[in-house]
Structure 1
Amino acid sequence: MKIIISPAKTMNVDRESHEVRGLPRFFDETKLLMDEIRKLSFDEAKALWKCSDKLAELNFQRFAKMDLERDLTPAVFSYEGIQYRNMGPGVFSHEALEYIEDHLRILSGFYGMLGPFDGVVPYRLEMQAGLSVGGCRDLYEFWGRKIYDSIAAESGGEPFTILNLASKEYSQIIEKYVGPECRFVTVDFGELVDGKVKQKATPAKMARGDMVRFLAEQNIADLEGVRRYNGFGFEFSEAFSETDRLVFIKRRK
């Protein structure tokens, strides 16, 4: 079972928590994207990133000085969003860290896909950013089926499962290419409102990170184990789940 998650917009440099175990597998593609972004003016880059002047200046300077092979941080320790804070890899046991190396994959507009200990630098480039590069109109076309094929190759030709804990923005880069060899299962975290499941962004991000921690600590490699998750007051709901969608409902207080 492979677990896919989204990246976070905020990133840090941390060379102390864990060693880098290698460069990202799509290094050449990332260098192409870096070179393309470096061609942009400040105003063009800001429009691409859709952010404030302050953030645009920070990231414009990051790309100007970027070295993809130096001062690297393991990916899972670099991202700082809600999901990663609730995952808490900094307190993982050795066994849990080995689990995420085998099972966890981080999707990225800039790096394509990352193992948790692949070395990265801070960047800003969301998957839905309208960057044209290499004759491709956007990043979805640029990455194509490369990411899915890379995950499939890890299975050695055997049937496999992808547990989707990523947002739609990122998961679609894989889901559209899924073939019969793969069971693609999405996890939703929501609350019951008038008999319908409503998902709120912040609690869902928190639960996604916490679920990764739970799976790693329990060394879970099948969907039956996934269904046992009960963090943050969520419980698996058979009634609202489907074959390829596991729904967790927040218990009422």
Structure 2
Amino acid sequence: MKFLIPTAKEMADPGSIPAQQLSEQSQAILAAVSCLSADQLTAFYKISPAAAQKEWQRWQDLLAGTASSYPAIQLFNGLMYRQIDRENLDYLAEHVLITSALYGVIGATFPIAEHRLDFQQHLKIDGHSLKTYWRPLYDQAVSGEDLLISLLSSEFETVFSPTVQERFVRVLFHEEKAGQLKTHSTISKKGRGLLLKQAQQKNVNTLKQLKKLSFEQFNYREELSNPQQLVFVRKVD
């Protein structure tokens, strides 16, 4: 069983670890982005000039080999990540894969540098979009896995080929109020992190065990689910 999770824009500083050399594919992306000026990065990211200057320096540090590296699961600090127990890494190292636009599909504790890049940025590598550039290696990274639990947004899911996506078991999170179900990004991101935390604590290794999890009033709803989609619902007043 492997959980697939996305990266996050927000990052923390968990303490650096020795770096790992970038793959050939990552080096090509680094070469393409690091040649952009701070002004060009302002448009590239659609961020302020001050924020773009910060990103420019990160890319230059990566290019120079002076960037610090951190375990990926501890560096990213978005809402989903903050729900996870990131002090206990054994389960995460075995069962979690992070999908990155710079590094590819990596293990939870893989050492990475601070950077900002996702699949919404318009970047061509050897004439390919980031998604088509990474697709063969994304597929290859999960080729031997028998159970793939997708906690990905569509942005990251669609990097994989349609054939691989058909193998995903997706997990959805809803709130129920007065008999009506609703969802939005905050519910989804928090639910994904809480689910993963419970899987850590219960040492979940099977789909049957996953369905039995209950957390923060979220419970599995069989009547809303199907073999490729698990639905967890939390009732609210």
TM-score by length of 2: 0.90
Give the aligned partner of residue 29 of structure 1. Answer: 25
Give the aligned partner of residue 122 of structure 2. Answer: 130
Note if contact 2:38-2:49 (Cα within 8 Å) is conserved in structure 1: no
Give the aligned partner of residue 209 of structure 2. Answer: 225
Change (3 A) 1:216 1:69: farther
Give the aligned partner of residue 101 of structure 1. Answer: 93
Identity of aligned residues (%): 25
Alpha-carbon separation, structure 1, partners of 2:229 and 2:98 = 20
SS at match of 2:167: strand
Give the aligned partner of residue 170 of structure 1. Answer: 156
Which structure 2 residues correspond to residues 29-108 of structure 1 after superposition, within 5 A?
Answer: 29-66=25-62, 67=64, 71-90=68-87, 92=88, 97-108=89-100
Note if contact 2:135-2:161 (Cα within 8 Å) is conserved in structure 1: no
Aligned pair 1:110/2:102, yes or no?
Answer: yes
Runs of 4+ in structure 1 over 4 Å off = 67-70, 193-196
Alpha-carbon separation, structure 2, partners of 1:223 and 1:230 = 14
Give the aligned partner of residue 210 of structure 1. Answer: 194
Alpha-carbon separation, structure 1, partners of 2:173 and 2:182 = 8
Could you say what the CA RMSD is over the residues aligned between the two structures, in angstroms?
2.2
Q: Describe the superposition over 1:93-149 as per-residue Cα deviations: whole angstroms up to 9, x where unpaired.
A: xxxx2221111001111111121111110000012211011121x111110221121
TM-score by length of 1: 0.85
Gaps of 5+ in 2: none
Note if contact 1:42-1:60 (Cα within 8 Å) is conserved in structure 2: yes
Gaps of 5+ in 1: none
Pick from 123, 135, 147: which aligns with 1:144? 135
SS at match of 1:174: coil
- More moved, 44-53 vs 188-197: 188-197
Q: Describe the superposition over 1:71-94 as per-residue Cα deviations: whole angstroms up to 9, x where unpaired.
A: 21011111011111111312x2xx
